[in-house]
Amino acid sequence: MTGKSQLGDFLQARRSQLRPEDVGMPTYGERRRVPGLRREELALLAGVSASYYTRLEQGHSLSASPEVLDALAGALQLDESERRYLHDLARVERPRSRGRRPGPERVTEATAQLLDLLADAPALVLGRRGDVLAWNRLGHALFAGHLDPGAPELSARRPNMARLVFLDAHTRDLYADWPGKARAVVGNLRLVAAQHPQDTALHALLGELSAKSGEFASLWADHRVKACTVATYEMRHPLVGQLTVVQQTLSHGPGPHVVVATTEAGSPSRAALALLAQSVTRSTVPAEPPRSGARADAG
């Protein structure tokens, strides 16, 4: 899974998904073997030579400047997340551009305090690969009530949300629009893979999911990119029934992310969440997050 093959594959995939009519390019009624843009057509839109673009897509050129990448992003009609992804892939491809391996992920004392403060809302702390580093009681009850509540505290048993979405029947049933959730997970993993090209644990996870889930392999081959910061999901919880939640990422940038699920005030979903909170309160099983210094998987 090199940067060179990823960059070429991404350009080819997105070019094939863009039709001439999408960019206002006349076809004069000609019959085309494939519906997507040809290499020379995309090169014309981006203002580069067809031979240069062909070398870039085939991995024979390592000299794409930020300006050329922006021109290609514009021609491919990429959004901001996809544009950043394209630049990340190009940086991986350039000689001597590899940085240090990402270090272990930890839940800081400040993050643990925030998790405690969010006791009335389901909340998780996720690592870059989707590993659950911590959760509060309600977060565990909503997202993974069928799992050992103490699992985030031990690296060997730590759940991974991507693995749960694709390989766990309970999680699949939890989302009414499972395909939408699956696409979001894959799109976010693509961003992370470009940002952390030396993360061997991440590549092992991607290999495992590709081998065990044909649906993951198909979505990964589609090269869609998506930053999962805010999303609305219909959930079908086995204890409280259907509810609509907004999942929001509260922390950005490097380091673990806090993900919180909220519901609309006065809605049936809010009532369902309150009912779930009551069931958690009655439970005697602890679900406390690890405190400062708690170690996550090695990078």
Residue 100 lies in a domain: no
Q: Write down the pLDDT at residue 246.
A: 97
Q: How far apart are CA 259 and CA 114, in angstroms?
A: 11
Q: Are residues 264 and 125 in the same domain?
A: yes
Q: Write down the pLDDT at residue 197.
A: 85
Q: Write down the pLDDT at residue 283.
A: 59
Q: How far apart are CA 178 and CA 233, in angstroms?
A: 9
Q: Write down the pLDDT at residue 227.
A: 79
Q: Write down the pLDDT at residue 250.
A: 86
8 A C-beta contact, residue 85 and residue 225: yes
Q: Write down the pLDDT at residue 111.
A: 87
Q: Are residues 135 and 229 in the same domain?
A: yes
What is the number of domains present in the chain?
Answer: 2
Q: CATH number, domain at 30?
A: 1.10.260.40
Q: How far apart are CA 173 and CA 30, in angstroms?
A: 46
Q: How far apart are CA 69 and CA 53, in angstroms?
A: 11
pLDDT block averages, 10 residues each, the chain of length 299: 68 88 75 81 92 88 84 92 89 59 78 88 93 93 91 81 96 96 94 88 94 96 84 96 94 78 96 93 51 41
Range of the domain at 129: 106-295
